[in-house]
Structure 1
């Protein structure tokens, strides 16, 4: 397995997390196409799907999607910066940690807002 043979470090982790986030985003897009189809094709099924989205597991998945989108965007910007200014590749590790810092600063409050109704018991 590639993950077990490779030494790891920030570059490899950035690569792996970027792919995982991309697959998660793709899965959401597929689910979104299906649920939009259900609006016209089967409104009852669509309403049931909305109940799942509003449930605690739905909120956790929504927070995970937000995290995947945010990480994928920040890492993509890091890659773009290094593509336009190749000298920055010397600091790819530091840039990765900066992107994680931004991820925490933005992601934690947003995640809290998304997950807060679970603890308060408030429906959406």
Structure 2
């Protein structure tokens, strides 16, 4: 279920991304205003969530491929699921500072 939810979230992000990028051809001034709204701590948290969704979707997709195409995949499905969770958590911990460092500096001024 989480794989489907993250897929839908990524789809909606891409849809909005295409729309706001297309705005540059219609009105560069409005595009600049929209992009300026993205430089907030709340959007930084949303970017972190997007990164979480993309990483989980990609890693779990590899697990699904392994289950479907590897003869021993169904036997190790649970183990691979936990491996995906651990790898995802480690990568998300590594992404905290690069993605949220700016938001921290904006909020706390350091």
Q: Tell me if TM exceeds 0.5.
A: yes
Across the aligned residues of Structure 1 and Structure 2, the Cα RMSD in angstroms comes to 1.3
Corresponding position: 1:116 with 2:101: yes
Runs of 5+ consecutive residues of structure 1 not aligned to the other structure:
1-15
Q: Deviations over 1:11-33 (max 9, x none)?
A: xxxxx110110011001110111
- Deviates most, 106-115 or 68-77: 106-115
Shift of 1:99: 0.5
The aligned residue for residue 26 of structure 2 is 41
Comparing 64-73 with 77-86, greater Cα deviation is found at: 77-86
The alignment of Structure 1 onto Structure 2 pairs a total of residues equal to 107
Normalised TM-score (structure 1): 0.80
Q: Which runs of 5+ in 2 are unaligned?
A: none
Q: Kindly tell me: are residues 86 and 52 of structure 1, through their superposed partners in 2, closer, same or farther at Cα, counting changes over 3 Å?
A: farther
**Structure 1 runs (4+) greater than 6 angstroms displaced:** none
Measured in 1, the distance between the counterparts of 2:17 and 2:96 equals 20
**Displacement of 1:86:** 3.1
Q: Give the deviation of 1:88 after TM superposition.
A: 1.8
Secondary structure of the residue that 1:94 maps to in structure 2? Answer: helix
